[in-house]
Amino acid sequence: MHDSPPKIKVEQFSSWYGDKPVHKEISFHVRANEVLGIIGPAQSGKTTLLRAINRTLELTAGARSTGTIQVDGEDVRWVANVYELRRKIGMVAPLPVGLPLTIYDNVAFAPRCAGLSRKSDLDALVEKCLRQAALWDEVKDRLDSLGTKLSGGQQQRLTIARALSHQPEILCLDEFSIAIDPVTTMRIEEVLKELRKDITIILVTNLTQQARRLADRTMFLWNGEIIQLDRSEVIFSENPGNQKTYDYVHGIFG
């Protein structure tokens, strides 16, 4: 795994909202099938970084960036089809945003847009994605009911199922557990442990212990700079080698 080219490679990346700087020439890579955790206080640039990787940052007026972000060796700025890039990179937001559609259609929406029309194929994909999101057993008898009627935790898992319906190679999760209960959070963490066999995962989390549980490596981002990036067992040890890292992960600030 370590000898293969990185799945994502970020080099000298800087970003701004108008005149306000967000990132300051950061460089790192993510390996295929790795879980990279990103931790840091609010306003550190964690969400902006995810949005830069899948090119939704450009949808914000006044946002700009320099440096390069490569996915599978290709600079994301020059991809021929940005929609294909976004299908390749699934995104899960902090709050579940359900489409005003049935549970089935929430998951089938993107595949239909991509040209999948045979009902048997759609049925199989919807079931697969709902199973991957640990939701199938709870909703299989009411797939024609509105997704927005589900509980918050179920809606967040539906959001994950919808992200998986693109059959992405990369899954970016932005504080997915911010609005759900601890039991549902643990269920989704079990889902992510399974998905890592097939997908590269970037996990932005405000819960340092979540990164400790899930991430192979963890990046500590602060004021748009990488303070430390190392194996999670180093970052969360009693001697990570950086005082700021130690203070943050032990709750001394942040």
Check which CATH number belongs to the domain holding 229 and give it.
3.40.50.300
Whole-number Å distance between alpha carbons of 61 and 57: 9
Q: Residue 178: pLDDT band by 50, 70, 90 thresholds?
A: confident
User: Is the residue at 80 inside a domain?
Assistant: yes
Is the pLDDT confidence value at 133 over 50?
A: yes
202 within some domain: yes
Q: For 67-88, what is the mean pLDDT? A: 93
Q: What is the arithmetic mean of pLDDT over 147-151?
A: 92
Query: What is the average pLDDT across 74-83?
Result: 92
User: Residue 242: what pLDDT?
Assistant: 96
- Evaluate if residue 128 carries a pLDDT over 50: yes
Token pair 């697969």 in the structure block, residue: 128
Check residue 177 and give its pLDDT: 86
Average pLDDT over residues 44-57: 95
Does any domain span residue 21?
A: yes
Q: Is 58 among the domain residues?
A: yes
Tell me how crowded residue 8 is: count the other CB atoms within 10 A of its CB.
22
Q: pLDDT band at 254, cuts 50/70/90? A: low
Residue 23 included in any domain: yes
Q: How many domains does the chain have?
A: 1
Residue 179 is assigned to a structural domain of this protein: yes
- pLDDT at residue 1 is higher than 50: no
Average pLDDT of every residue of the chain: 93
Containing structural domain, residue 121: 8-249
Evaluate whether residue 2 is within a structural domain. Answer: no
In the chain, % helix, strand, coil (3-state, to 5) comes to 40, 25, 35
Tell me the H-state helices in 140-239: 152-164, 182-195, 208-214, 232-235
Q: Is residue 196 part of a domain?
A: yes
The predicted pLDDT at position 201 comes to 97
